[in-house]
Chain A
């Protein structure tokens, strides 16, 4: 073989300008790198709780705030980008709008990061009034800067959602059609148009509830900014607590519904089966649309002054909001996979594991959302236990699965990948079990120095975090190397 001069390599998709594919790739890289850093912070917090490293309490609470706010924002960003990737084949969406949203989110994160790392802002990611203002250990500028950062993240998300809503109306003629109500009222359907696929139904629901959430979040943050500027600005602690959890619960919850849109698009590729939908899907997503925004009162069960009907309605809504997931989406996914010719790749493994995490976390969430159980679970480690199960063990797995799908995985993975997957999942499960153990033992969450058995459990959990991070690093490198290879061979998404 003779040596040949290297030829200029024609990169796949390297046309001039910002292609949708490249934009999604940028979003994924930015998001995953940020998650990586925030996960290290998470591990550091565990190590501090386990007395393996020393952190001053104000440092611990600053890191806790950054980890929580950062993770939620990044996971919203990543699931939104993944969902967008499929939506742009179904709706006319503008890549510039996505770019704007990503940039706004990144600016918001940078501002919040500066407020936390530079100023030490640390009232937790829910920044419950009046904690940002009373007995603080951080300068006032960091309070204001953090809220401005949150506003940026909210603006980025709102623009993204508005573009989707506009796309749905342009393509299907209206919001009702986006929710597939034309399965019940065929007159609504545009001539020559098919009923909206589930990816679009999910997008319409997320857009509506998401805009409601961003509106609430804006009111919340503007009120806090007013209080920041003028200490006499009147704020009612109970009202703002409701607003805070309406915003915080719903935004975190919506990442699951963004993920559902991705699952509807991806599982058919791995199973080689179409995801058939019918009227049940319309009803199911309408139920989510109506009840997801009513679940927040379960965060205020221990505020006994709260109006009785809200407490009961909160419990009922939380229960009802699980029906679409349990009976339609997750059941539908299992039915699609059942006896299919499933191609097992990193993507499909992570999507299935994520669905399981969603369910298992959901079960723990429902127990917590049951009023007579809540008085021994509220604000214990049971809370981070369940939400890490469906955010880290659910939504984040969907993100990794999507990244792998996006890069393209026609060939089965190398044998060694099994090892990385085992490392990742062993670390994940061990880490989560320690959270649950702490919760059932009544160890409160958000403790810089938790009471026993908190430190012992945290020390063990730190070991599992290390294993998890090792597996995660190897898997992300694997996916990255595959992306480099495929950039040369020109292999695209999917299988």
Chain B
């Protein structure tokens, strides 16, 4: 169920929160054997210095690690070269104008905009896992590269409050295997 990025996020969140909770419990428990402030202050300051350096390096590392995997087109020049299939998406209150069938294993360049208010464009795989998203904004087009890895019935869902019908703004997207080549190919499970 929980897999991919979501799993990484969950593990990181639980692990980091657990460390913090243990640290708090330890400090709270320590109040059962009180001592003078002068007895702990200088040790605390030394610990703060190490903790500060450690935290700073951690953040710098995290920042450096993440900028290599950001989803923007300008950050992924390789994608531009592989001849993507250009797909225009226009979001409205409360539906998307876009193809209902697209090929798997093909780089797709979604050009996403809106005819009225801000909407979202979220891609859920056949198991219901959110794989990625982009905003649909009036007057602007967001370019979003995406490759569907497995054929099947995906769901496109609005991810931004866009009015009274927001919860009804989703639709199916059929992803067909590329080997069969033609868009008339039948889908597994259809």
On A, residues with C-beta under 8 Å from B are 57-58, 61, 122-124, 128, 130-131, 134-137, 236-238, 241, 273-274, 276, 280, 300, 302-305, 308, 311-312, 315-316, 319-320, 322-323, 326-328, 331-332, 334-342, 344, 352, 355-356, 359-360, 363-364, 367, 370-373, 375-380, 436, 440-442, 444, 446-452
The answer to whether A375 and B133 touch (CB under 8 A), given A335-B41, A341-B31, is yes
Q: In the complex, A376→B124 CA distance in Å? A: 10
**Counting CB contacts under 8 A, is B80 at the interface?**
no
Cβ contacts under 8 Å, B17 to chain A: 360, 363-364
Would you call B117 and A451 a contact (CB within 8 A)?
no
**Counting CB contacts under 8 A, is B71 at the interface?**
yes
Cβ contacts under 8 Å, A130 to chain B: 116-118, 138
**Counting CB contacts under 8 A, is B34 at the interface?**
yes
Given contacts A130-B117, A135-B117, 11 further A-B contacts (CB under 8 A): A57-B165, A128-B117, A137-B164, A237-B140, A302-B142, A304-B135, A340-B37, A372-B5, A440-B9, A442-B122, A442-B130
Would you call B166 and A448 a contact (CB within 8 A)?
yes
Would you call A380 and B130 a contact (CB within 8 A)?
yes
On B, residues with C-beta under 8 Å from A are 1-2, 4-6, 8-10, 12-13, 16-17, 20-21, 23-24, 27-28, 30-31, 33-35, 37, 39-41, 44, 47-48, 51-52, 55-56, 59, 62-63, 66-67, 69-75, 93, 116-118, 120, 122, 124, 128-135, 137-144, 157-168, 170
The answer to whether A135 and B67 touch (CB under 8 A), given A377-B9, A444-B122, is no
Cβ contacts under 8 Å, B144 to chain A: 304
Closest to A56 in B: B164
Cβ contacts under 8 Å, A379 to chain B: 120, 122, 133, 159-160
| Minimal beta-carbon separation of A323 from chain B (angstroms) | 7
The answer to whether A376 and B5 touch (CB under 8 A), given A237-B140, A305-B142, is yes
Q: In the complex, A105→B6 CA distance in Å? A: 40
Would you call B128 and A442 a contact (CB within 8 A)?
yes
Q: In the complex, A449→B94 CA distance in Å? A: 14
Would you call B118 and A237 a contact (CB within 8 A)?
yes
Q: In the complex, A251→B161 CA distance in Å? A: 21
Would you call A376 and B9 a contact (CB within 8 A)?
yes
| Minimal beta-carbon separation of A300 from chain B (angstroms) | 8
Would you call B161 and A446 a contact (CB within 8 A)?
yes
Would you call B24 and A319 a contact (CB within 8 A)?
no
| Minimal beta-carbon separation of B165 from chain A (angstroms) | 7
